[in-house]
């Protein structure tokens, strides 16, 4: 199936010029051109484009509102924004509200725009490949915290739907080159993951850090740990403002755990290490490990990764992310 690309601009002459240029390049895309953003929204919901190229300033509905409405309508296209302004406020709103993949300042050379569309399509393909995953990772699809499984060189072997959305709608989480995971802080400088991965594979431990984002006040909470006994790393990314885990009492009732055991499981489900979870529960690390052994026996699991998969399967709705101001 040919990629579907939609262009939205209230200036018909610009759409006509783009149509001529694209016809001359010979790109094998299914093209849609709309000058009315309201019609564009209806068409996008019906046709499900892969990439939407949208002008920022339009009458009736601006580009940010249009792209946000498309997302609300279930259209998860990669978005490219054309703007006559390079104001930070415009860029921040477009990234945060509309999940814009790339910006171009008008007037934009057609060649640069075509290159941007190709990069957006390539990025989508890499993200889709990462989300296909193996059967053993399927429980991760029930939660909306982002979960990646990567190899020793940071190649993404699996990404759950929430991780896929992070890659498609933000600038902090990407795959680059041959499918390696790249995490970038607020300045845009990539974090060197390979030394972290080597240390985790050798030690079997875990690490946690914050990932600042241009599009949000609070950083992602990132936890990396070895995935079982294999040469793989699981990366769990949560938004501290939006994660809403079940209460300890609910966990205890469902899994038949004591209050202290359930409280410990709840902290681990938030991505904390055993040491951090013990501190949060006002336990010694040794007591927390003793509790974990009893929890494994009661839940018939053998290790922490199995326990977390059980929790994710048992409480998918509670571990979902909330929209700003929304309920779980």
Q: What is the DSSP string of 45-95?
A: HHH--SEEEEES--SSS-HHHHHHHHHHTT---EEEEEES---HHHHHHHH
Q: With cut-offs at 50, 70 and 90, classify the pLDDT of residue 199.
A: very high
pLDDT tens figures, 44-60: 999 999 999 999 889 88
- SS3 label, residue 266: helix
Q: Which CATH superfamily is domain 4-126 in?
A: Response regulator (3.40.50.2300)
Query: Under 8 Å CB-to-CB from 185, ≥6 apart: which residues?
Result: 172, 191, 211, 212
Return the minimum-mean-pLDDT range out of 23-32, 185-194, 241-250, 251-260. Answer: 241-250
Q: Quick check: 238 and 146 in contact, CB under 8 A?
A: yes
Which of 236, 245, 249 shows the shortest CA–CA distance to 304? Answer: 236
State residue 296's pLDDT score: 93
User: How do the domains of the chain map onto residue ranges?
Assistant: 4-126, 133-238, 248-314
Q: 173, 185 in Cβ contact below 8 A?
A: no
* Cα within 13 Å of Cα(281), Cβ side: 28
Q: What is the pTM of this model?
A: 0.48
Q: Confirm or reject CATH 1.10.3720.10 for domain 248-314, answering yes or no.
A: no
User: What architecture (CATH level 2) is domain 133-238?
Assistant: 2-Layer Sandwich (3.30)
Mean pLDDT of 230-251: 77
Beta bridge partners of 184: 190
Residue range 39-43: average pLDDT?
A: 94
């Amino acid at each position: 199936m040919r990629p579907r690309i939609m262009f939205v601009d209230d200036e018909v002459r610009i759409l006509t010029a783009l149509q001529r240029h694209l016809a001359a390049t010979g790109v094998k895309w299914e093209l849609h051109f709309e000058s009315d953003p309201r019609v564009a929204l209806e068409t996008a919901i019906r046709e499900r484009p892969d990439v939407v190229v949208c002008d920022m300033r339009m009458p009736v509905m601006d580009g940010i509102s249009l792209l946000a409405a498309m997302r609300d309508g279930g259209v998860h296209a990669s978005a490219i924004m054309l703007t006559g302004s390079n104001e930070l406020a415009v860029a921040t709103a477009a990234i945060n509200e509309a999940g814009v993949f790339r910006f171009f300042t008008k007037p934009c050379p057609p060649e640069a725009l075509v290159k941007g569309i190709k990069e957006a399509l390539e990025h989508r393909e890499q993200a889709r490949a990462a989300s296909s995953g193996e059967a053993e990772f399927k429980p991760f699809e029930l939660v909306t915290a982002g979960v990646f499984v990567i190899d020793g060189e940071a190649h993404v072997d699996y990404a759950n739907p929430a991780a896929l959305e992070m890659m498609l709608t933000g600038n902090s989480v990407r795959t680059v080159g041959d499918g390696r995971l790249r995490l970038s802080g607020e300045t845009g400088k990539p974090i060197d993951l390979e030394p972290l991965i080597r240390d985790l594979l050798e030690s079997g431990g875990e690490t946690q850090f914050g990932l600042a984002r241009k599009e949000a006040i609070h950083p992602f909470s990132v936890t990396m740990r070895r995935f079982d006994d294999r040469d793989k790393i699981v990366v769990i990314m949560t938004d501290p403002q939006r994660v809403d885990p079940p209460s300890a009492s609910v966990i205890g009732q469902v899994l038949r755990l004591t209050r202290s055991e359930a409280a410990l499981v709840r902290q681990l489900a938030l991505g904390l290490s055993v040491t951090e979870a013990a501190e949060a529960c006002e336990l010694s690390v040794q007591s927390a490990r003793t509790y974990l052994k009893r929890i494994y026996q009661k839940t018939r699991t053998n290790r922490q990764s199995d326990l977390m998969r059980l929790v994710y399967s048992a409480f998918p709705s509670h571990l979902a992310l909330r929209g700003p101001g929304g309920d779980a």
